[in-house]
């Protein structure tokens, strides 16, 4: 297939766009042990959380969700993940007491609010 110069530029643009979107979509799923332990302490203390994925186009947070189960998993390479109620969560899009959990535990996140309105 001969794409030509314009076709090649378009293909490169699409590749960069997809990479950019996917990089923002999973910001704070893979955590250090310290970040994971800090997040567990906060979540155990509050027992309620909200989700809001601003890079995904969401503008309103979810209704508050009660934490029924909390799982902390080590993938064997010293990377940790947290699941709430059976669903792996990204701390960049998780809020407790209206505060962004990634900001609380020091996980670098972009294009997300530090807090949401109560």
Burial (CB count within 10 angstroms: exposed 0-12, middle 13-18, buried 19+), residue 55: middle
Q: How far apart are CA 50 and CA 92, in angstroms?
A: 11
Q: Domain tally for the chain?
A: 1
Q: Does residue 115 sit within a domain?
A: no
Q: Does residue 19 sit within a domain?
A: no
The whole-model pTM stands at 0.78
Q: How far apart are CA 75 and CA 52, in angstroms?
A: 26
- Residue range of the domain that includes 72: 28-105
Q: Does residue 16 sit within a domain?
A: no
What's 106's DSSP letter? Answer: T
Range 3-25 average pLDDT: 46
Q: Does residue 94 sit within a domain?
A: yes
Q: How far apart are CA 84 and CA 17, in angstroms?
A: 30
Least trusted range by pLDDT, from 9-13, 31-35, 60-64, 111-115:
9-13
Q: Does residue 73 sit within a domain?
A: yes
What's 90's DSSP letter? Answer: -
Residue 66: φ, ψ to 5°: -80, 135
Q: Does residue 1 sit within a domain?
A: no
Q: Does residue 18 sit within a domain?
A: no
Q: Does residue 88 sit within a domain?
A: yes
Q: What is the pLDDT of residues 48-87, one digit of tens each?
A: 999 999 999 999 999 999 999 999 999 889 999 999 999 9
Q: What is the pLDDT of residues 89-111, one digit of tens each?
A: 999 999 999 999 999 999 999 99
State how far Cα 22 lies from the chain centre: 11
């Amino acid at each position: 297939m001969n794409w030509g110069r314009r076709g090649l530029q378009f293909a490169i643009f699409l590749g960069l766009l997809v990479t950019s979107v996917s990089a923002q979509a999973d910001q704070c799923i893979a955590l250090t042990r310290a970040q994971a332990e800090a997040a567990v302490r906060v979540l155990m203390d509050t027992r309620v959380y909200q989700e809001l994925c601003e890079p995904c186009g969401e503008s309103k947070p979810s209704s508050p969700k009660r934490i029924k189960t909390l799982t902390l998993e080590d993938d064997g390479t010293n990377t940790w993940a947290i699941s709430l109620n059976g669903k792996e969560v990204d701390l960049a899009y998780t809020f407790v007491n209206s505060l962004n959990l990634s900001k609380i535990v020091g996980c670098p996140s972009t294009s997300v609010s530090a807090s949401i309105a109560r």
